[in-house]
Chain A
Amino acid sequence: MTELYLGLALILLLTIAIGLVRILRGPTATDRMLAAQLFGTTAVAILLLLGQAAGNSAIWDVALIFALLTAVAAVTFVRRKDIDSTTETEEHDGTD
């Protein structure tokens, strides 16, 4: 059973590694931010699986904190965009 949990966690970790492409290529800031948010959700799933595999409930607490707090960065991002919404020209982003 431990193998199954670890295997699933491994697949989820691979999806994070592949998802990095979205952060790197964008093209808009929102794409990058949402990719990081998605990683937060994936990390919660990985932590739950690792906790199950190791039988350690402290790992679930880490997952709980991630689930609660990743939203704060997203809210900051949304509120920050309010303030400079006049300069929203992101078409030529991520072309380096």
Chain B
Amino acid sequence: MELALIFDLILLITLIALAWLLLASSDIFRAVVLFIAFGLLLALAWVRLGAPDVALAEAAIGAGITGALLLVGLGRLGSAEHYRGTRTRLTFLQRLSAPVLIGVMIPSISLILLLELSLHASATPGQQGLVNVLLDVSGTNHGVTAVLMNFRAWDTLLEKGVLLLALISIWSLDQARPLFRQNDISPQLTGLARLLLPIMIIVAGFVLWQGDHAPGGAFQSGAILSAGILLAILVGYTLPTRRQGLSLRLLLAVGFSVFLLVAAATLLSSDYLLKYPDSLAGSLILLLELVATASIAALLAAAVVGGHPPDDLSKPVDRSSAVNGGQT
């Protein structure tokens, strides 16, 4: 047990040091790499805290999409690799403010937290007992999935809405630009993608199905799939132009729309929002998870691509010509 304590302490110190270093880094690329490392260690921390569900989500999002998203964003900043913030000379008061803030805020926050902790000396199991009692009627065999998809499905519905809204905001800003030049893609990259993509799809399916009785589910599965889509884009695959219109939008919206339909249907039939009939609960959760996975994968990948598809699909605008150039 001593070893576990030492492990946790070193993990904690490294996490805090990483957070500090990446926030204080003047080199943005270095900050991005530090953030990728931070995500790795954060997943370890969730595992040590006994929350494999969160660790799984952190791994799927942090390892795959976040790093790629930040690197792509950095590329958009122009010659970003050498971009550094300018440093101005601080006045005496500005110099004083940091030690005062740190010297006063951190001790007082620590004190308040310690007082709080001493009030709740024994850790309470929360709603675990209640969830276990109701698990039989939830339509799934895993407590977290039961909470996410049944007991608190309302939150999950809104989460899907937030994702969709985020993408609508991104699309409203600009038209998608080519992420990368489409020529000279190394054969090793293509080979890697051919090797990895099928495994990613299988693992995404496995994680989705596993959500029924163990950590897993739509969000983790969708994040893995979106990493797969991103890998495909990186090695030069493109969505056919005829699919960039209605089909793409349907795919992006299907998760939220079906969830909304189910919510409306349950409201009409039972007077309670998202109160599934007991006999149908399992099938409904599976349906919602399936469409949610598809939408999450498409939404996350579209967010990395950034910007909406060209308006006039028959005639790609010059900037996006490289995106569609692969098919000519």
B17 contacts across to A, CB distance below 8 A:
20
Whole-angstrom distance between the alpha carbons of A71 and B64 in the complex?
8
Which residue of A has the minimal Cβ distance to B2? A3
Which residue of A has the minimal Cβ distance to B68? A76
Contact B75 A80 (CB under 8 A): yes
B264 at the binding interface (Cβ < 8 Å): no
18 new A-B pairs (CB below 8 Å) besides A36-B33, A73-B36? A10-B10, A20-B18, A29-B29, A35-B33, A47-B47, A50-B48, A58-B56, A61-B214, A62-B55, A65-B207, A68-B199, A68-B203, A72-B234, A75-B189, A75-B193, A75-B231, A75-B235, A83-B180
Chain B contact residues: over half helix, strand or loop, or mixed? Answer: helix
Contact A73 B68 (CB under 8 A): yes
Query: Scoring B residues 33 to 71 as 1 if CB is less than 8 Å from chain A, else 0, what string do you get?
Result: 110110011011001100011011001100111011001
B71 contacts across to A, CB distance below 8 A:
73, 76-77, 80
B313 at the binding interface (Cβ < 8 Å): no
B224 at the binding interface (Cβ < 8 Å): yes
Whole-angstrom distance between the alpha carbons of A6 and B185 in the complex?
42
Whole-angstrom distance between the alpha carbons of A57 and B207 in the complex?
13
Chain A contact patch, size range: 35 or more
B165 at the binding interface (Cβ < 8 Å): no
Given contact pairs A6-B4, A80-B180, A72 touches B33 in the complex (Cβ within 8 A): no
Contact of A20 among B37, B68, B82, B231 (CB under 8 A): B37
Chain A contact residues: over half helix, strand or loop, or mixed? Answer: helix
Given contact pairs A13-B14, A79-B180, A66 touches B59 in the complex (Cβ within 8 A): yes
Contact B30 A65 (CB under 8 A): no
Contact B36 A24 (CB under 8 A): no
Given contact pairs A24-B21, A36-B36, A66-B59, A96 touches B27 in the complex (Cβ within 8 A): yes
A contact residues vs B (CB 8 Å cutoff) = 3, 6-7, 9-10, 13-14, 16-17, 20, 23-24, 26, 29, 32-33, 35-36, 39-40, 43, 46-47, 50, 56-59, 61-62, 64-66, 68-73, 75-80, 82-84, 87, 89-90, 93-94, 96
Whole-angstrom distance between the alpha carbons of A40 and B37 in the complex?
8
- How far apart are B172's CB and chain A's nearest CB, in angstroms? 25
Contact B55 A59 (CB under 8 A): yes
A-B pairs with beta carbons under 8 Å apart, 9 shown: A6-B7, A20-B17, A35-B37, A47-B43, A64-B203, A65-B207, A72-B68, A76-B68, A89-B82
Contact A66 B63 (CB under 8 A): yes
Contact A87 B82 (CB under 8 A): yes
Contact B43 A68 (CB under 8 A): no
A3 contacts across to B, CB distance below 8 A:
3
Contact B210 A61 (CB under 8 A): yes
B235 contacts across to A, CB distance below 8 A:
75
Contact B47 A68 (CB under 8 A): no
Given contact pairs A13-B11, A39-B40, A65-B203, A6 touches B3 in the complex (Cβ within 8 A): yes
